[in-house]
Amino acid sequence: MTDDTDGPLAGLVVLEAGSMISGPTVGRLLADFGATVIKIEHPEFGDHIRNFGPKKDGVGLWHKYLSRNKQSITLNISTDSGSAVFEDLVSEADLLVENFRPGTLERWGLGWEHLSDVNPDLVMLRMSGFGQDGPYAERPGFGTLAEAMSGFAYLNGFPDSPPLLPPTGLADNIAALFSTFAVMFALYHRDVNDGGGQYIDTSLIEPIFGLLGPQPLRYDQLGEIESRSGNRSTSSAPRNVYRTGDDRWVAISASAQPLAMRTFDAIDRPDLKDDPRFETNAKRLENVDELDAIIQGWMDEHTREEILESFEEADATIAPVYNVEDILNDEHYAARESFISVDDEDLGEATVQNVFPKFSKTPGKVDHLGPSLGEHNDDVYRDRLGYDDEMLADLDSEGAI
């Protein structure tokens, strides 16, 4: 019997044989909600995410965030003894997450056909750049390539600028979100429908492609290819980012007719409601340069605080453009506990995002940040698998752990 405070996934055992962002993000999301996530890392260098991006005193901050709530064990799966240990782990797991290049596990004799024999109830998530099949399957794949090939970069940016890549792992995170609910679908089918295990094939290119709206339908039916529009929308106006009089930024989105009318009230121009150039969304799109110039002219004469107050009084839609310092000082984020402080043996008191979304009965929680390499070897090998000193010594001498 589990306690509600353990999270909705308490008792679920997950093996994470993944590296960098996509696979480990799935593991983080599941661990945040109570799953036991055993992160398998190479004995010599661990997950490459440990040395990726910003560090404090040699400690990788990406690792601290992505590996939170997980257990870390060392295991060289490519060795004969390491693969045998891996099979023991798989035999007791509900879910395996892996993001090796397609064919890698098969070369080690650890493909789906074999692992499903080891554990018929296993759900196996396979993440890769281009998927497990198709002409590009064996290419090395990273989020940047997916952001380029999905159509996202082509749409992102300004009309007179090159295609624009995102500054963070967007494709990896989108694929991880798709994959997280996919594994829950598969576990539901296994446990509720008595459907047994199965494997899930997630590419990085398809989930982000799937979020770009009706692009294929538009091309198929209208022969149109949408191009870059900067901060504007091709579907509604006004929608843009504007500089304020005190040299800050705000964003407006008036995607419905009442919102556009309230925007005109907010900028002290109710006369624009009856202006034939702006009375409908179609007209506003046709005259968007003039509309943006009017809005920007009003913004130039006001501070960000004044602008936000005026829009709030008019019940119009606006938001300040925040950096991370702004977020950590915002009263709404603080009231919702969107970030929390966690005591960490390497970093001391450290601030990270909290667990989202909020559950009324079985909330997730952040118990600890990313562990040291192999910190949970004893917990897993001795307590979970029942290995004794002699077995562990042999595995160590063989370079397996």
Please say whether the beta carbons of 41 and 77 come within 8 A: no
171 within 8 A of 150, measured Cβ to Cβ = yes
* Residue spans of alpha helices (H) in 225-267: 257-266
Contact partners, residue 73, CB within 8 Å, separation at least 6: 38, 39, 40, 41, 374, 376, 377, 380, 381, 401
Q: How many helices (H) and strands (E) does the chain have?
A: 18, 13
Residue 180 tokens, joined:
């997280």
Q: Does 378 participate in catalysis according to the annotation?
A: no
Q: Rounded distance, CA 78 to CA 108, Å? A: 6
CB neighbour burial string for 104-137, b if at least 16 within 10 angstroms, e if fewer:
bbeebebbbeebbeebeebbbbbbbbbbbeeebb
CA dist 339 and 173 (Å) reads 19
Strands 123-128 and 36-41: unpaired
Q: Which residues contact 117 (CB under 8 A, 6 or more apart)?
A: none
8-state DSSP, 48: G
Measured distance CA(16)–CA(127) in Å, rounded: 11
What count of Cα atoms within 13 Å lies in the side-chain half-sphere of residue 345?
7
Q: Which H or E run contains 348?
A: strand 348-353
Distance between CA atoms of residues 309 and 311, nearest Å: 6
Catalytic residue among 94, 172, 201, 292: 172
Would you state the structure tokens that stand for residue 139, as one six-digit string?
């290419």
Q: Which two tokens stand for residue 272?
A: 């624009």
Computed on alpha carbons and rounded to an integer, the radius of gyration of the chain in Å comes to 25
Query: Which positions are catalytic?
Result: 172
